[in-house]
Amino acid sequence: MPSKVPMLDKKILVVDDDDDMREALRMTLARLSPNVDVASDGQSGYEKAISTEYDLIISDIRMPEVDGVTMLKMLRSAGINTPITFITAHGTVENAVNALKLGAFDYILKPFSAEVIEEFVKRVFDLRDMKISQGKNKEAVFKSSYMAKMFLIAKDVSTSDVTVLITGASGTGKEVMARFIHENSKKRNGPFVAINCAAIPDALIESELFGYEKGAFTGADSKKIGKFESAAAGTLLLDEIGEMPLHLQSKLLRVLENKEIEKLGSTKTVKLDIRIVATTNRDLKKDVENGKFREDLYYRLNVINIEIPSLKQRKEDIGVLSDFFVKRYSNVNSKFIKKLSDEAIYALNNYDWPGNIRELEHTIERAVILSKGEYITKRDLFLHGIAFDDIRYLEKSEKGDHHDTLTSVQTIYKGKFIGKTIAEVEKDLILNTLSDNGGNRTKASKVLGITVRTLRNKLKEYREAGVDVNSYLN
């Protein structure tokens, strides 16, 4: 008999038009949780799911009238994001795969045993409830079904040494995913070594990766161990792999294929026992078409692809991430902040987050520091460096419709923003923040909630426009 795994706080809905299958599933799931409901078709499953908040729906994919996929579409249209797993036979696997593209969590292939169901459900809830320590204060925190699915895939592939390519925009959490793979792999006791291919000059990246022998070139006064060797018996993260120069891509391909390297200035090869994970915010397939990235290297890296969407595409995660950052930075700054106000949560959920999780973290950190009470208000958020209300005011002022917020803005800023465009206000804010932080770009970018690279680009833009930027720098 399968072992009982208590999950008393989880609600599960089973939807199946086959009476025997529906009852068998109910009995199996009852060993995991007493909160199991059933529905005999897609329509009644839909009606139950919009009236009761379930943690998981397990549904047959083929049912008369309203089938599983139609029910999924109806629930998503109604704003219900409960993870849905489909039961499917070999003949309907294609339908199940299409359902995954529509937002289904996973599918289970018939026939299956009670043990398979128990293990699957346990893994789903392990992932959905997960806050996994990643070292260096990095954790995986999420609520969305999509991210739960991505971490489920990551956990499955972590047991092998297969190369993984993690794609997604800057700030979405690609390194957190890479650390998760390392922490769940056979090499978890080895080092996790990361190298940012975009941050190292082309002339140095080869020696940083492969190392060199003493006397390999002018200035090589001693032997250097490269990142590949440093990651021995562990994981090497090649961050922003799309920025690697073409002449090194062929050498990297040989390393991936042969699992050995040759240092600069040496004729001997060094065998490697490492796991390779690569990340990129670029469209490598397009780079291949444009001749900027080797096709053979792309396919060698892209054995398993984990794509992380932008934060605005998984807004269910904004709340749990915000709560997590509030707790973290309240502790760091010795402040007693209970939570975000309802208005602040509304503001966060209605912002596009171009900087993704990194921008959200900086926004919450700044809000914790600036907050004067037990709750973070929307005025504490200063999205894009300006309080949320004042962004709306500035947008309205350009249209000549600002009578409803003029008084409050004048009270806060004493009129110093009146008559200025958002771009001008942004410039003033950036330069003044630089000045307030002694011209230190790293500190200023942290306060502003932007990356140092973004700050550098802004300063270049102002310099080209004739602004004396140097007077604000240290």
pLDDT in tens, 436-461: 777 888 888 877 877 777 888 888 88
> What is the model's pLDDT at position 397?
40
Report how far apart the first and last C-alpha atoms of the chain are (Å, whole number). 70
Residues 20, 115, single domain; the answer is: yes
Domain count, the chain: 3
pLDDT at residue 371 is higher than 80: yes
Residues 162, 68, single domain; the answer is: no
In this prediction, residues 146-167 reach a mean pLDDT of 88
Specify the length of the chain in residues: 474
Residues 163, 235, single domain; the answer is: yes
pLDDT tens readout for residues 66-91: 999 899 989 888 878 788 888 887 66
Q: Which of 307, 336, 362 is at the close of a domain?
A: 307
Residues 102, 213, single domain; the answer is: no
Residues 154, 173, single domain; the answer is: yes
Backbone angles phi, psi at 39, to 5 degrees: -145, 145
pLDDT tens readout for residues 248-307: 999 899 999 988 888 888 778 889 899 999 999 999 999 999 999 999 999 999 989 999
389 is written with which tokens? 């209300």
- Is residue 133 assigned to a domain? no
- Whether the pTM exceeds 0.85: the reply is no
Residues 248, 228, single domain; the answer is: yes
CATH code of residue 173 = 3.40.50.300
For residue 111, cis peptide bond before it (omega within 30 degrees of 0)? yes
The domain in which residue 115 lies consists of 12-126
> What is the model's pLDDT at position 224?
83
Q: Assign 401 a pLDDT band (cuts: 50, 70, 90).
A: very low
pLDDT at residue 333 is higher than 70: yes
> What is the model's pLDDT at position 93?
66
- Is residue 134 assigned to a domain? no
Q: Assign 400 a pLDDT band (cuts: 50, 70, 90).
A: very low
Residues 358, 298, single domain; the answer is: no
Q: Which of 276, 307, 338 is at the close of a domain?
A: 307
- Is residue 1 assigned to a domain? no
Task: Give the least confident one: 171-175, 245-249, 388-392.
Answer: 388-392
Q: Which of 307, 339, 368 is at the close of a domain?
A: 307
Residues 143, 26, single domain; the answer is: no
In this prediction, residues 357-382 reach a mean pLDDT of 88
The set of residues, in sequence order, having a beta carbon less than 8 Å from that of 449 and lying 6+ positions away, is: 355, 359, 362, 363, 366, 382, 385
> What is the model's pLDDT at position 126?
66
DSSP 3-state assignment of 304?
strand
Residues 303, 447, single domain; the answer is: no
How does strand 192-196 pair with strand 235-239? Answer: parallel
CATH code of residue 19 = 3.40.50.2300
- Is residue 320 assigned to a domain? yes
Residues 303, 363, single domain; the answer is: no
pLDDT tens readout for residues 193-242: 999 988 888 878 888 888 888 877 777 778 888 899 999 999 999 999 99
Residues 286, 144, single domain; the answer is: yes
pLDDT tens readout for residues 402-425: 343 333 333 334 444 555 666 777
Transcribe 106-156 into DSSP letters: EEEESS--HHHHHHHHHHHHHHHT-EEE-STT-EEE---HHHHHHHHHHHH
Contact 56, 49 (CB under 8 A): no
Candidate ranges 26-40, 141-155, 450-464; pick with highest mean pLDDT = 26-40
> What is the model's pLDDT at position 47?
92
Residues 179, 280, single domain; the answer is: yes
